[in-house]
């Protein structure tokens, strides 16, 4: 008995020593938090959020960046559609700066405008409970193409998402250049089961789930559009980047506001802003 215990102890010590000897990198990773960016890049090579493609100038001419760190879409020359959780709910709001007309936010062709008024979805509580949309009236019309809202619910996909948000969950910065990716639609039931485990009950007809470990939206992409092709090949907006548990995590797709459900309410809000 005693001898057995002693040999077990010896075996344990040997294993610990050997493990330490063959995995020196482990210790290095553990001390790395001092320099988080390079360590993060090495640690998660399989998490290229938003798929990693830079949008060429002009490809998504209606996508705009809002100064609080969200995206949006120009749906009328003077109206931006964004996520409800990107705004604070005050109607008279002149604190949002809008940058439009460029894929590279620092490019010379950037046009800017300021918010004048905001209408947020009436039922909005927080992004996990649906109703995650808001419309922003600008202080001047922008001479750029506008994005129509789809009438029909999403089909089989895939759809295209975009934004200036983080390209990895553990990134510490937002991007200067617009990135986009194609994301697969995840069925409501499958998504609901996953998020239920995380304590969130999804609202089926208000939310769309999409994404994979290869492509997803991330922090800073909120408010930006999810688009597909209409009957004549034109881009139409089917969703708004809303939230998700982390970014590109296996089993936890991104969650988007389902625009076909809110189209009439958004149209009514836009009329009120005119």
**Nearest approach, Cβ of residue 16 and ligand 4AZ (Å):** 38
Stretch that binds ligand 4AZ, among 4-12, 50-58, 114-122, 241-249 (CB under 6 A): 241-249
Measure the CA–CA gap between 102 and 59, rounded to whole angstroms: 10
Count the Cβ atoms, other than its own, within 10 Å of residue 262: 21
Q: Which of 221, 255, 215 is nearest to 126 (CA)?
A: 255
**CA torsion angle 169 32 198 128 (round to 10):** -40
| Residue with Cβ nearer ligand 4AZ (101 or 239) | 239
Please confirm, yes or no, whether 179 is among the known catalytic residues: no
171 binds ligand 4AZ (CB under 6 A): no
Whether 71 contacts 65, CB under 8 Å: yes
Exactly one of 115, 221, 235, 258 binds ligand 4AZ (CB under 6 A); which one? 221
Please confirm, yes or no, whether 132 is among the known catalytic residues: yes
195 binds ligand 4AZ (CB under 6 A): no
**CA torsion angle 207 208 211 217 (round to 10):** -50
Exactly one of 178, 227, 247, 266 binds ligand 4AZ (CB under 6 A); which one? 247
Task: Scan residues 72-101 and list those touching ligand 4AZ (CB under 6 A).
Answer: none
Stretch that binds ligand 4AZ, among 58-66, 100-108, 132-140, 214-222 (CB under 6 A): 214-222
Stretch that binds ligand 4AZ, among 108-116, 191-199, 217-225, 265-273 (CB under 6 A): 217-225
Which residue number places its CB atom closest to ligand 4AZ?
244
Q: Which of 49, 44, 54 is nearest to 220 (CA)?
A: 49
220 binds ligand 4AZ (CB under 6 A): yes
Residue 156 phi, psi dihedral angles, 5° rounding: -75, -15
Residue 37: alpha-carbon gap to chain centroid: 20
Whether 72 contacts 137, CB under 8 Å: no
| Residue with Cβ nearer ligand 4AZ (115 or 217) | 217
* Catalytically annotated residue among 115, 131, 132, 221: 132
What length does the chain have?
274
Question: In this structure, what token pair is assigned to residue 231?
Answer: 């009957």
128 binds ligand 4AZ (CB under 6 A): no
How many residues contact ligand 4AZ, by CB under 6 A? 13
Measure the CA–CA gap between 98 and 138, rounded to whole angstroms: 8
**Nearest approach, Cβ of residue 126 and ligand 4AZ (Å):** 12
- DSSP SS3 for 192: helix
Measure the CA–CA gap between 120 and 135, rounded to whole angstroms: 6
* Catalytically annotated residue among 115, 171, 222, 242: 222
257 binds ligand 4AZ (CB under 6 A): no
**Nearest approach, Cβ of residue 82 and ligand 4AZ (Å):** 11
Measure the CA–CA gap between 52 and 271, rounded to whole angstroms: 37
Q: Looking at the annotation, which residues are catalytic? A: 85, 132, 222
Positions touching ligand 4AZ (CB under 6 A) are 165, 216-222, 241, 243-244, 247, 254
């Amino acid at each position: 008995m005693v001898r057995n215990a002693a040999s077990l102890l010896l075996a344990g010590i040997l294993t610990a020593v050997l493990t330490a000897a063959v995995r020196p990198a482990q210790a290095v990773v553990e001390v790395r938090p001092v320099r988080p960016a390079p360590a993060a890049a090495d640690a998660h090579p399989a998490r290229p959020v938003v798929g990693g493609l830079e949008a060429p100038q002009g490809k998504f001419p209606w996508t705009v960046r809002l100064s609080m760190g969200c995206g949006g879409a120009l749906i009328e020359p003077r109206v931006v559609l964004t996520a409800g959780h990107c705004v604070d709910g005050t109607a008279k709001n002149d604190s949002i700066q809008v940058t439009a007309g460029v894929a590279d936010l620092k490019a010379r062709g950037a046009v800017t405008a300021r918010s004048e008024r905001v209408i947020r979805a009436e039922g909005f509580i927080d992004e996990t409970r649906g109703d995650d949309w808001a419309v922003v009236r600008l202080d001047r019309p922008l001479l750029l193409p506008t994005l129509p809202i789809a009438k029909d619910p999403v089909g089989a996909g895939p759809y295209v998402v975009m934004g200036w948000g983080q390209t990895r969950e553990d990134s510490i910065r937002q991007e200067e250049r617009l990135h986009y990716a194609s994301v697969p639609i995840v069925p409501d039931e499958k998504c609901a089961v996953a998020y239920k485990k995380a304590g969130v009950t999804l609202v089926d007809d208000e939310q769309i789930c999409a994404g994979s470990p290869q492509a997803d939206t991330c922090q800073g992409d909120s408010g930006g559009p999810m688009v597909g092709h209409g009957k004549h090949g034109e881009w139409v907006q089917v969703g708004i980047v809303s939230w998700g548990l982390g970014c590109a995590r296996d089993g936890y797709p991104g969650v988007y506001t389902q625009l076909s459900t809110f189209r009439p309410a958004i149209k009514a809000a836009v009329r009120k802003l005119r």
